[in-house]
Structure 1
C-alpha cells in the first residue's frame, strides 16, 4: 500500500512525476497503466517525443499505440513536435493530453480555445480551496457525479469545431456544466484532451476516485502506450538548433576551457563594475507621466450634465450593467425574463425582490424616450448597491 506521509513534510506541489509518491505525482497511474490497457506494453520515453518520432517514424504505422502526457503544460514539445504528434494521430493512432495549460500551436491546429478562471492561483493554500464536480456524458456511466475536494481549477473548453469534436465530460462551474474532457477526430485517429490533470494523481487514486480514471481511460484502445514524462527538450527540432550549436556548450565540454570561460567572465564583470563607478554620470530624475484618466472622465461627465442628456447616461449605465452581468456571472442578457432574474439573483447573492425591481426599472427606462435627473440618480444607486454584494 502506498503511503503519502512520512517523517518528512508532505510535498503538496503539483509535479505530475511518474516516480513521485507525493500526493500530486503520477506514480500509481503509471505503474497501473498496463492493467488499465489490458497488459499492453508501456514505453516510458527517455527522450523528447519529437526526437522519438524522428528516429522511429518508419517503424510507426497505423494502430501503433497511444501517446499519453499528463503534466502542467507541454512546453517541452516544440511547434515541430506538435505537428508530428498530430501526424502520428492522423495515421490512426490516439493521443491523450491532460494539461493545465494548452499552448497556442495546439489550440490553433485543433481549432479549440480554453478558459481558466483560476489561471492566477499558484499557492498551495489557495489551490487547496478549489473543489470540483465532474460528469461523464456516456449513458453507461449513469450520469454519475464525481466530486473532488482540492486543487480543481475552473479550467474548461470554450470553443471547438463541432463537426469533429465530441464532448465526453463536463465540470460544473457556477451551476453550469461546461466541457472539460473532449475527443477531437484527426484523420484516422483521435486526440483526447482533459483540462484537469490533477484528478489522475496519487492523491485522488487513493481517495476512491479511481473509477473516474478508469472511465476516462476506457475511451483509449488497448495498444502500446507511449508515456511521455516530458523531462527533456528536443535535440533535433529546428527551433533548438541554434542552442545546440552554442559556443558555450563547446567550452563546457572541457574542464580547462570551462575555467578559462569563468575567469574571462569574472574579469569582464569586475572591469565593467570598477570602470562604471569612475565614469558614470549622475542620472537626472525623470518625472512620471501624470494620470489624466480621472480628469478626462470628469470632463466627459460634465459635458453630459451640461447638455442635460440624462437619457444618454441612462442607456450607458444600462449597457455597463448588462456587460458586467455577462462577464461576471456568465449569463445571457438577450431576454430579461423571470428565468434571467432568478439566475441573476442566485449568482449575485442579491435578494430576488431587489433584483426584480432593478431589472424592471432597467426595462422601463430603456423604453422611455427621455429620462429625468432623478431617474438617472436612482438607477445609478440601484446598480451600485447591486454590485456591493
Structure 2
C-alpha cells in the first residue's frame, strides 16, 4: 500500500539544525538516534512519522521489543502493527527477541529493518546472506567519498534513480529464498544492479529488509532525498507503528557481557577513540605509579565502649523491614513455584528445558509462549546475585497469572 501523504520537512526543523551545527563542530558519526539532530541522526524521519503514517498510532518503544511483546502481546496481536528499526545494527535484539519478532510477523504483522550490519543469527533466521564491501571503512574522509545510486523495481517508480553523495556503503543481499522473497529495490555497484531492498513473506505477514539506513538520516532528508525514504516506507500497510530506537537491552536475557564487548569494539573501530582509550589507560597507570609512596594514615579516634544492647535488639527486630533483600524473596518465590509444580503437576523440575516447558504448558493449560517467558525469567533471576524490587514484582505477577489458569 503506497502512502499518499508526502514527507514534509518544516522550515523550523531546518533552522534549528542550521543553528545547532553552526555553533559547534559538526558531528559526522553515524549514530541513527531519533533524538539526534546531527547529520546522521534520525531526528527528522522520526518526527515526520505522523505525516508518513497519517491516522496511525506511533509507539516509540521505551523497552526492548522482546520485553514489550511479553508485557503487551495480547493487545499488540489484536491491533496488527508495523515494527520499524533503522539502525547501524540490531544487536540489542537478542536471539530470543529475533524469534519473537518472526512470530510477531507470522501472526499477521509487518517488520521493516534497515541496517548496515545483519548479525549471523538474524541472517540465519531470515534465510539471507549479505555482503558489505565497505564494512572496514570508518574514517570520515573515506566515508565521504562513498557515493551510490539506488532504484526501485515497482512499475510506479519505473525509470527513477536516486543518487546519494556520501557515506553510501556497498552493502547488498547475496542470497535469499526466492520462493518467498520479492526484490523491491536495487543498488548499482560497479555497473551491476544488486538487491538492497527485499520483501520476505513470513506466515500471514512480511519482513522488509533494507541494506542502507543512511538514506533515512537528517543529512539526506535535507538534501532533497526524502522521496526515496518515503517510497521505502510506503510499502507498509496502515497499521500501528512500533518504532524501535534500540535504547535498552532486554531485562529477561542476560546481555551485560555483550554490551561491554560492544562498547570496546566500538572504541577499537575508530582510530581516534582507540588512541583516547590508550592515553586514558596510560594516565591511570602513571597516576598509580606516582602515588605508590607511603603516606601517613590518619590517627583514628578511640571512643569508649558503649552499651549497644538496645540498639542491637532494635536492629535485629527490624532487619527484614529495612534490609529489603529482594534476592532472598525472589529465591523463596522460585522455590515455592517449583515445589507447587512438582506437587500439583507431578513434573520433575531438575532440568528446566524445552521438554519441561512443553509439558508444563500442557498440564497447566497455559500458552507455551507465556510458560516460556516465565521459565526464562526464573532461570535469569536465579543466576543473579542481586535483584531489584521491580524484578521481584514482575516475577510475582507472572506466577500469580500462571496459576490462575
Pick the TM interval, shorter chain: 0.5 to 0.7
CA contact (8 A) 1:112 1:161 kept: yes
The Cα shift of 1:243 comes to: 9.9
Query: How far apart, in 2, do the equivalents of 1:110 and 1:90 lie?
Result: 12
- With over 3 angstroms needed to count, the CA separation of the structure-2 counterparts of 1:242 and 1:147, relative to structure 1, is closer
Taking the aligned partners of 1:241 and 1:140, their CA distance within structure 2 comes to: 46
On the 8 A contact 1:63/1:92 being kept in 2, the answer is no
Indicate the residue corresponding to 1:72 in structure 2.
Answer: 88
Distance in structure 1 (CA, Å) of the matches to 2:31 and 2:199: 25
Q: Give the match for residue 93 of structure 1.
A: 109
Q: What TM-score do the two structures reach when normalised by structure 1?
A: 0.61
**Pick from 191, 195, 200: which aligns with 1:175?**
191
1:102 to 108, 115, 118: 118
Distance in structure 2 (CA, Å) of the matches to 1:243 and 1:208: 38
Residue 157 of structure 1 deviates from its aligned partner by 0.1
- Select which of 11, 16, 25 maps to 2:41: 25
Secondary structure of the residue that 2:91 maps to in structure 1? coil
* Equivalent in the alignment of 1:256: none
Residue correspondences, number: 248
* Aligned position for 1:155: 171
Q: How does 1:1-389 map to 2 (within 5 A)?
A: 1=11, 2=14, 3-4=17-18, 5-61=21-77, 64-237=80-253, 239-240=254-255
Task: Find the aligned partners of 1:241 and 1:22 in 2 and give their Cα distance.
Answer: 28
Distance 1:38 1:221 in 2: 11
Instruction: List alignment gaps of at least 5 residues for structure 2.
Output: 1-10, 260-287, 294-405
Please give the alpha-carbon distance, in whole angstroms, between the structure 2 residues aligned to 1:201 and 1:180. 17
**Residue segments in structure 1 that go unaligned for 5+ positions in a row:** 245-268, 275-389
Distance in 2 of aligned mates of 1:55 and 1:164? 31
Q: Once the 2 structures are TM-superposed, how far is the Cα of residue 202 of structure 1 from its aligned partner? A: 0.6
Q: Distance in 2 between matches of 1:134 and 1:197?
A: 13
Measured against aligned partners, the alpha-carbon deviations of 1:69-109 in whole angstroms (never above 9, x if no partner) come to 10000111100000001101110000001000001111111
Q: Aligned with 2:22: secondary structure?
A: coil
Distance 2:206 2:99 in 1: 14
SS in 1 for 2:241: strand
Go from structure 1 to structure 2 and tell me whether the alpha carbon gap of 1:149 and 1:243 turns closer, same or farther (over 3 Å shift). Answer: closer
Using structure 2 for the length normalisation, give the TM-score: 0.59
Q: Which residue is equivalent to 2:307?
A: none
Partner SS state of residue 203, structure 1 = helix
What do the CA deviations read for 1:18-68 (whole angstroms, capped 9, x no partner)?
A: 111111010110011111112311111111111111111122216521111
Partners of 2:257 and 2:167 lie apart in 1 by 38
Change (3 A) 1:55 1:63: closer
